[in-house]
Amino acid sequence: MSSDRPPLRSLLFVPGNRTDWLLKAAAAGADAAILDLEDAVPPAGKSAARAQVAEAVATWTGDMALFVRINPLDGWAAAEDLRAVTHSRLHGVVLPKVGEPADVLLADRMLTWCEREHGLTEGRIALVPLLESALALRAAYDIATAAPRAAYLGAVTGKGGDVERAIGYRWSPSGTETLALRSRVLLDIRAAGAPCPVAGLWTTIGDLDGLRAFAEQNRSLGYEGMMAIHPSHIPVINEAFSPGPDDLARYARLIATVEEAQARGAGAITFEGEMVDEAMAARARAALHRAQDR
């Protein structure tokens, strides 16, 4: 099932007790919304928010993919969350406070039971383990390979968040202090074969120029999307992780040139001042295919 996961450029967090904001997320153009039952909901409101999120998922008719961030696995709330929100319209479950692969295995087993209970195909719902501790970041490869449904993983290095506290770096807008960390985690995830790695977060709401630079840096590293906390960030993120018209036109020209050369029995050829071959054409075809699917 994991190979069928669609790429997602933007995943916007929405408080679980404000499901009415899903319409704002969709209007902003988010590829996915993450309904948050963990940090965004106070303890006294967990039960009511769970019922609210379950109803929102079951009645959602939009194109935007829906995820739910459940509560940590160290309490019964996580099991209650999973049973309540599992539905054919649920795209994925975001798993917080992951420490080791065993956490992913437990969540995968629990989610499988819920899928069976609801008559769904096993593995249909993606599982997104959040790498929020030093131990989890170090074990990124093992966590990503713990369950076939694992997807959309990455190093989420927001200002003042769990990762900053765990690692001890000093956050800066340039992201230089986490560049090596984001690169290594991405390599682990790619080696594990987990699809559609995503990064994040940018927490300064009004600094769209800084967000754009950070998103473009993540795209240059090889990430396919980012998590976000504010609707105003979505257009910037979507643009950063989407090829522009000039890129798409160049991909089409490259493919045509390579295929024409192959018909003549040629391999590597010169294209617009650069040496290209079938590997570059394959990448161009994949980019065009993703663009057509959106």
What residue numbers does the annotated binding site for substrate cover? Answer: 69, 132
Q: Which of 60, 62, 80, 81 is nearest to 70 (CA)?
A: 81
Instruction: Could you list the residues known to form a binding site for Mg(2+), using ranges.
Output: 132, 162
Instruction: Could you list the residues known to form a binding site, using ranges.
Output: 69, 132, 162
For residues 85 and 92, what is the distance between their CA atoms, to the nearest angstrom? 10
Name the 3-class secondary structure at 90.
strand
For residues 184 and 197, what is the distance between their CA atoms, to the nearest angstrom? 12
**H helix runs in the chain, sequence order:** 22-28, 46-59, 76-85, 101-117, 134-138, 140-144, 162-167, 176-192, 208-221, 234-240, 245-263, 278-293
Residues 6+ apart with CB under 8 A from 23: none
For residues 33 and 63, what is the distance between their CA atoms, to the nearest angstrom? 11
Burial class (CB in 10 A: 0-12, 13-18, 19+), 235: middle
